[in-house]
Amino acid sequence: MSRHTRRASALALAVALAAASRLSAQQAAASANPNIDPAAMSALAKMGAYLRGLKSFHTESENTRDDVLDDGQKIKRNGSASLLVRGPDKLRAHVKGDLQDRMYFYDGKTFTLYGQALGYYAQAAAPPTIPQLIDVLENKYDLDIPLADLFLWGTDKADANMITSALDAGPSEVDGTACEHYVFRQTDVDWQVWIQQGANPLPRKIVITSTDDDARPEYVSTIKWDLAPAYNDEAFTFYPPKDAYKIVFAADRPASGK
């Protein structure tokens, strides 16, 4: 059995990145800690502001994560995720991997999770924006939207002191795209992000290492972007196949005997 599985969305990373949105916080952290490069923090702030300004986008990502067995041996799990977004209230995602094949639909009013391989789906009333949806899914249903960090980076949800080290590791390439490679550290997590150079500071690769486990399991995501995707509103609405079976989210089930 696995004793540790890193959450693919890695919301702890989003918490740290949120701290980078405020210049005063960057300056205070840098002056208090010589291991924090203000330029690296500024790069995060620029990326967060750019992501929040996107009206619509489509991403395709290839992901790996480590599961750690009780004896410390790591198992590498492979997966992919497709994400179509029209802010602030439309989202469609498809997550496929060694252990799951799921689709997510959000039309601003209803959230649907569809287990494509099993033919089951569940629906729930949803809040009016994607960031609010992420919060509800995490806290009520223990679910993650793929690449949830993209919607949270740069928001006011964090303390800049969570970042204990930040540095610019230099230029690098991801799938032929020129990027700048940044390396960060916080309690129990080391993480890296490759940010596209130029006018579109997009995150092209993310590596998250859990340092609170001796096996140091990692989550890695490489992301391709389309900033002008073709879509219509039907893309965000779930129409159940004839053989699909509707079930109820665990959090919505009535208590036993009621």
Distance CA 56, CA 140 (A): 27
Q: At what angle do helices 38-53 and 23-32 cross, to 10 degrees?
A: 160
State the CATH number of the domain containing residue 176. Answer: 2.50.20.10
Structural domain span for residue 162? 2-250
Encoded amino acid at 18, one letter:
A
Is residue 108, in this structure, part of any structural domain at all? Answer: yes
- Per the structure, the count of domains in the chain is 1
Cβ distance 121 to 104 under 8 Å? no
pLDDT in the model for residue 49: 87
pLDDT in the model for residue 225: 97
Is residue 95, in this structure, part of any structural domain at all? Answer: yes
Strands of the chain, DSSP E: 2-5, 56-69, 74-86, 90-97, 101-106, 110-115, 120-125, 163-174, 177-186, 189-196, 203-210, 218-226, 245-246
Is residue 224, in this structure, part of any structural domain at all? Answer: yes
Encoded amino acid at 137, one letter:
L
- The predicted-structure confidence for 230-240, as pLDDT tens digits, reads as follows 999 999 999 99
Is residue 255, in this structure, part of any structural domain at all? Answer: no
pLDDT in the model for residue 83: 95
pTM of the predicted protein model? 0.83
Q: At what angle do helices 11-19 and 38-53 cross, to 10 degrees?
A: 110
Decide if pLDDT at 155 tops 80: no
For 4, the token pair is 């540790």
116 or 12: which carries more pLDDT confidence?
116
Q: Which of 24-38, 107-121, 212-226 has the lowest mean pLDDT?
A: 24-38
